[in-house]
Amino acid sequence: MTTDLPGPPQESVRPLLRSGARVFVAGHRGLVGSALVRRLTAEGHEVITRDRAHLDLRDAGRTEAFLREARPDAVVLAAARVGGIMANSTHPVQFLEDNLRIQLSVVAGAHAAGVERLLFLGSSCIYPRLAPQPIPESALLTGALEPSNEAYALAKIAGIVQTRSYRRQYGASYISAMPTNLYGPGDNFDLETSHVLPALIRRFHEARRDGSSAVTLWGSGSPRREFLHVDDLAAACLLLLDRYDGDDPVNIGCGNDLTIRELAEKIRDVTEFQGAVEWDTTKPDGTPRKLLDISRLTALGFTPRIALRDGIAQTYAWWLEQRTAQL
């Protein structure tokens, strides 16, 4: 089964998100959501949020009632259960069911409440494990998924189909975007549930603090990954909300990648760890390579601004500040 992805992006002549729009950011405390709040606020929009304690987005009835009362002009669906290889492998049921419930609840609730504009954020893991590189949006559903995050990927694929279906059946101006690997202020540094970049920052920092002679990392270090600073992602999301109104998902990335081994060396340099790096090849590598084709996004005028090493240093400094504040 393949998707039909005809032609270039559909760019609007006038902004699709009016000045000073009221925007509900679902998942505002997370890595992506907090960056979106910063960007929307900086551009003069009114941001609406709700804590998880006051609104469980898995509850369809309460979510619809909230959206009817809040009456936002737009919704950005950044709420999700996320995690790295270990978390996805250990809790596939929760990664599938929680994400499906959140998506069904928010998108259906937005439509019922008459929300004009919605952006659903998926993930680059929706693409086949052995997709062509760089990965075009047309690769969706053309091959087998990476087994270690299959449940999460299937939930995100369902979100793409859901937003597309609302467009086709109801004429809703709902769109979807697929970010690459993200990092930055607000990231998760829990070693059990974090993604690779923040996990490496913590591992090297603690090894330097403890005077360790070596750090042992999972896999061979050979897989290639693309990393985008979350503030660049937020800029891309605002661009799409302003200019894009098409059926097809749009990839969001930086356009280049590096090996996990190279990433580890950059992080070792930033954290000033002087010991050795060893690789446990009995542990899984995951997908061999995952670089997104971002030509659709660049055609709309997007250019990433934050270099990887600068972004790592900024993220490391943010984490250290958070740790100090908690002491």
Tell me if 30 is assigned to a ligand binding site: yes
Tell me if 132 is assigned to a ligand binding site: no
Tell me if 270 is assigned to a ligand binding site: no
Which residues, in sequence order, are bridge partners of residue 183? Answer: 229
Tell me if 211 is assigned to a ligand binding site: no
Measured CA to CA, the distance from residue 222 to residue 6 in angstroms comes to: 34
Tell me if 179 is assigned to a ligand binding site: yes
**What type of residue is 213?**
S
Tell me if 32 is assigned to a ligand binding site: yes
Tell me if 117 is assigned to a ligand binding site: no
The residue assigned the tokens 């619809």 is 64
Tell me if 203 is assigned to a ligand binding site: yes
Tell me if 218 is assigned to a ligand binding site: yes
Tell me if 28 is assigned to a ligand binding site: yes
Q: Half-sphere exposure of 119 toward its Cβ, with a 13 Å CA cutoff?
A: 33
Respond yes or no: is residue 152 known to be catalytic: yes
**What type of residue is 78?**
A
Tell me if 33 is assigned to a ligand binding site: yes
Tell me if 181 is assigned to a ligand binding site: yes
Measured CA to CA, the distance from residue 176 to residue 79 in angstroms comes to: 14
**Which residues have CB under 8 Å from 223's CB, separation 6+?**
259, 260, 285, 286, 287, 288, 289, 290
- Out of 152, 174, 183, 316, the active site residue is 152
Tell me if 167 is assigned to a ligand binding site: no
Polymer length of the chain: 327
Tell me if 123 is assigned to a ligand binding site: yes
Whether the bond between 134 and the residue before it is cis, its omega within 30 degrees of 0, is yes
Tell me if 121 is assigned to a ligand binding site: yes
Tokens encoding 180: 């690459």
The DSSP element (H or E) to which 110 belongs, if any, is: helix 92-112
Question: φ, ψ for residue 67 (rounded to 5)?
Answer: -65, -35
**What type of residue is 256?**
N
Measured CA to CA, the distance from residue 254 to residue 142 in angstroms comes to: 23
Among residues 182, 197, 179, 193, the alpha carbon closest in space to that of 126 is found at 179
Tell me if 320 is assigned to a ligand binding site: no
Q: How far is CA 289 from CA 74, 128, 198, 226, 249, in A?
A: 34, 11, 19, 9, 20
Measured CA to CA, the distance from residue 115 to residue 108 in angstroms comes to: 10
Among residues 264, 142, 125, 152, the alpha carbon closest in space to that of 204 is found at 264
Residues placed in the known binding site for NADP(+) = 27-33, 121-124, 156, 179-182, 195
Which residues participate in catalysis according to the annotation? Answer: 152
Residues placed in the known binding site for substrate = 203, 218, 225, 285
Residues placed in the known binding site = 27-33, 121-124, 156, 179-182, 195, 203, 218, 225, 285
